[in-house]
Structure 1
Amino acid sequence: MSEKFTIERRRFLQVLGAAGTGAALAGCVGPTITARGAAGSTSGQSPTQLLAPATATPATGTISFAHWRAEDKAVFDTLIASFVKANPGAGVTQDIAPSNDYQSTALQKVRGGTIGNAFVAFRGAQFVDMTKAGLFAGLGRQPFVDNYFAELVKAGQSDSRAQMGLPYQLVFNMPIYSEAAFSAAGISALPQDWDGFLALCDALKSKGMVPIAWPGGEPANAGQLLNSMAMNEMPTDNAFAGIEAGTYKVTDDWFLRILKHYQQLTPYFEPNSTGTSSEPLQQLFASGKAAMLATGSFHISAVRKLGAKFPINLIAPITVAQDKAKYEGIYNATFILGVNTAGSKQDAALKWVQFLSQPENAATYANGTSQHVTVKNVDYTNADLKHTAPWLAKKTLLAPRFQFKNLDIRNAVEGACTSVVGGADPGQAAEKAQSVVDQKRK
């Protein structure tokens, strides 16, 4: 690890020792991770239905909880059992779809009110679309909203600052890496500039490993790498929103530099990377054959289940000179919990969201899934969460790829990166993407 990282980690662990794990992490998130750039993609609408405060009466009836985290099913089953114990007349069934499918079909499925009495949304385009469709019942009158870090729930607010949903996950949308693989390649410090990152990849490749496992065939996760590739190249923190607004273009020099960096990384990806999904790459990483998995901290739990025993940490490519770097990494507040306006089970759905919002239950979720959460006063006992906790104190940018409100525009911009990895000329890939942006903006 770099000297800077080691010092920051030592200071953070001193805080842990002085204040206790839960208190230290709770205090760290709020003041150090702020909503830089666009706080959340919003719709400009107020809630079509503002729910009255949850009552103390036990919930009744069985609700559907719609989400995309199949790897979290067992943890949610545990939480559901606790919820039912406290609410004997209630029940919760999980309706789970893969993230790609959930991104494209959840709005239509939830709209009817049978599936997704309680549901979640991705920050960005999906949250915007679901809010515009009037699916979120307003949560602004709920006292349990105060259980969350105020800065981190902005992604669940409308332009009028009405609290439509509650982002539950605090994740790092940047590559995870095997400390054992880095050590085997003789890497003792994380690179602080682009030349250093390419040298890192060379060292890993020389040891017979795939330096970066990148799911280029799965748009929902292929675009995660773009967050950190762009964080120090963007002219402003809101540049991706600017592309959609017409202020910036994919053909601008700053984005062309990003595409050329993808071109340089291509030899370090796995073969046929533009046709690979994340599941086989999780196995490749867990087996030690790949040194980095270019998705995010949300896949740590999955690779642990696949047998990964080595220490796992986070790394973001620094694409500029060290003295030009504004940010060290990427974070996101997502998995936005909501109560459906459709159907007749809002009371039970609201009580389920209230239950998940309690610190002890949020801790069960966090420690069981290896994901930090946006709820305050959570006691983190998970070893991976403790190991990656120093990133809570680093200068990180709110994941910019979710600034796009139009999925077609986002797909075109991210698709330019995939095209370059597939062999396209960066300039031609940019022109093609910009033509889609221009068409969709009309």
Structure 2
Amino acid sequence: MSQKFTIDRRRFLTGIGALGTAGALTACVGPTITSRGSATAGGPGASTLLLPAVDAKPATGTISFAHWRAEDKAVFDTLIATFVKANPQAKITQDISPSNDYQSTALQKIKGGNIGNAFTAFRGAQFVNMVKAGLYAGLGAQPFVDGYFAELVKAGQDTSRAQMGLPYQLVFNMPIYNEDAFAKAGVTSLPQDWDGFLALCDKLKGAGFVPIAWPGGEPANSGQLINSMVMNNMPTDTAFADIEAGTRKVTDDWFLLTLKQYQQLAPFFEPNSTGTASEPLQQMFASGKAAMLATGSFHLSAVRKLGATFPINLIAPITVAQDKAKYEGIYNATFILGVNTAGTQQDTAVKWLQFLSDPVNAAVYANGTSQHLTVKNVDYTNADLKHTAPWLLKKTLLAPRFQFNNLDIRNAVEASCVAVVGGTAPEQAAQQAQTVIDQKRK
């Protein structure tokens, strides 16, 4: 099911709050964010529990908040302290798992009711599965839902368009880059086509940098690059959903082209890229050895904590000729906040979500973690958020990898890219992936 929205430029600029720089605002003249592809979830077994509207009574009792953002723990600790000060009979503990583990184990843990009274989900397959399992309590009666950009929280709706969760983060799932490294390599403008992107990588390599740090050994992050690699190659914006549905194949010409382009990028990745995780690459990028980190804006805070002091921006490889490019980059609305139907303390859990939804508290999270949010009227004072703010108004595509609702199929598609970088012929990697896809669709 295709879905499109357009955010009026003036309304969006008002909504995102004070960016604090006229230069950033005057640069935001590009097209707006466009959402395509499957964004809803639900089906048989979906929860019908609708939480009553939050009341004004102080929260009480202890709740567990389950998520995967270990790098945000200190900021959440600060927010929890503020929440508890206003609600002295309440307590919140964080239950944090690595992103890979959270993808595979969170549903079962949260389903038990002892962990994750309030919890989060990745957009796509995990959210779909959690809704089908009945974990999300309906949030439609909550007045604070109106404090979010309606277009950006559709990824938290079920098939009936009921608001089950609230995507909190507005991230860009595309490479970040070191502006100083680009300047040292003599790069004066960003490439607008595939030949230009390869030439950029060649310049960076010639200047002594690892052009692209790519975590090919970590499935949760190796697949982030595929978003921008396919955004202009796809014959339709729903091509990944079509692969899962069986109406398209990874052996089709457009995806074979993408695999061949991965093959061209392989010499520009770090050594042993197919066996490398994101953490050492964050250090490589922070130290200035790698010019690009092919994960996303969600790692801005991590590389700053590792000592990166240079200006950082976003870049997406344009894999087609300039006049054929429909999109400039990739965005995602994720970190879907929810209240668990299992267990107890749902009243306190929904009050925690209400607290996080307040623009003042949302600003503490955004500026402390270098994350743009889906909450209206957030005052962004973080220098990196100001610097990357123009991307809020460029023509970006909702991250295609999250069109997959079957993680086995998504993993097979993304593994074909890793296989090609590792030396497998594109045609062979595609056929191997298609064999898995055909099996998983039965």
Provide the TM-score with structure 1 as the length reference: 0.94
**1:202-253 alpha-carbon deviations (Å, 9 max, x no partner):** 0000111100000000000000000000000000001000000011100000
Partner of 1:21: 19
3-state secondary structure, aligned to 2:120:
strand
Moved more, 242-251 or 33-42: 33-42
Is 2:33–2:394's contact at 8 Å kept on the other side of the alignment?
Answer: no
Alpha-carbon separation, structure 1, partners of 2:112 and 2:36: 34
Amino acid aligned to 1:186:
G
Partner of 1:43: 42
Amino acid aligned to 2:39:
G
Is 1:174–1:314's contact at 8 Å kept on the other side of the alignment?
Answer: yes
Amino acid aligned to 1:36:
S
Query: 1:159 Cα shift?
Result: 1.0
Shift in alpha-carbon separation, 1:277–1:405, aligned structure 2, 3 A: same
Alpha-carbon separation, structure 1, partners of 2:223 and 2:42: 23
Is 2:139–2:164's contact at 8 Å kept on the other side of the alignment?
Answer: yes
Amino acid aligned to 2:41:
T
Alpha-carbon separation, structure 1, partners of 2:406 and 2:200: 36
Alpha-carbon separation, structure 2, partners of 1:264 and 1:434: 22
Amino acid aligned to 1:217:
G
Partner of 2:4: none
Shift in alpha-carbon separation, 1:81–1:33, aligned structure 2, 3 A: farther
Amino acid aligned to 1:241:
A
User: Where does structure 1 lack aligned partners over 5 or more consecutive residues?
Assistant: 1-10
Is 2:18–2:378's contact at 8 Å kept on the other side of the alignment?
Answer: no
3-state secondary structure, aligned to 2:298:
helix
3-state secondary structure, aligned to 1:309:
coil
Is 1:229–1:258's contact at 8 Å kept on the other side of the alignment?
Answer: yes
Partner of 2:400: 400
Alignment of 1:338-353 (within 5 A): 338-353=338-353
**1:92-142 alpha-carbon deviations (Å, 9 max, x no partner):** 100000000000000011001100000000000000110110000000110
Query: 1:33 Cα shift?
Result: 4.5
Alpha-carbon separation, structure 2, partners of 1:414 and 1:89: 47
1:326 maps to 2:345 = no
Partner of 1:205: 205
Partner of 1:83: 83
Amino acid aligned to 1:285:
F
Partner of 1:290: 290
Query: 1:35 Cα shift?
Result: 4.5
Partner of 1:150: 150
Alpha-carbon separation, structure 2, partners of 1:155 and 1:120: 13
Alpha-carbon separation, structure 2, partners of 1:285 and 1:175: 11
Query: 1:397 Cα shift?
Result: 0.1
Query: 1:22 Cα shift?
Result: 7.9
Query: 1:23 Cα shift?
Result: 12
Provide the TM-score with structure 2 as the length reference: 0.94
Is 1:41–1:402's contact at 8 Å kept on the other side of the alignment?
Answer: no
**1:156-177 alpha-carbon deviations (Å, 9 max, x no partner):** 0011101110000000000000
Partner of 1:183: 183
RMSD of the TM alignment (CA)? Answer: 2.0
Query: 1:34 Cα shift?
Result: 4.1
Partner of 2:3: none
Partner of 2:381: 381
Query: 1:62 Cα shift?
Result: 1.0
Is 2:216–2:418's contact at 8 Å kept on the other side of the alignment?
Answer: yes
Query: 1:48 Cα shift?
Result: 2.5
Shift in alpha-carbon separation, 1:41–1:250, aligned structure 2, 3 A: farther
Alpha-carbon separation, structure 2, partners of 1:279 and 1:78: 25
Query: 1:386 Cα shift?
Result: 0.2
**1:342-390 alpha-carbon deviations (Å, 9 max, x no partner):** 0011011010011001111111100000010000000000000000000
Is 1:219–1:411's contact at 8 Å kept on the other side of the alignment?
Answer: yes
3-state secondary structure, aligned to 1:21:
coil
Is 1:113–1:340's contact at 8 Å kept on the other side of the alignment?
Answer: yes
Alpha-carbon separation, structure 2, partners of 1:34 and 1:198: 26
1:118 maps to 2:101 = no
Alpha-carbon separation, structure 2, partners of 1:155 and 1:283: 32
3-state secondary structure, aligned to 1:121:
coil
Is 2:47–2:133's contact at 8 Å kept on the other side of the alignment?
Answer: no
Moved more, 38-47 or 221-230: 38-47
Q: How many residues align?
A: 426
Partner of 1:440: 440
Amino acid aligned to 2:430:
A
Partner of 1:8: none
Percent of aligned pairs with the same amino acid = 77
Alpha-carbon separation, structure 1, partners of 2:254 and 2:57: 56
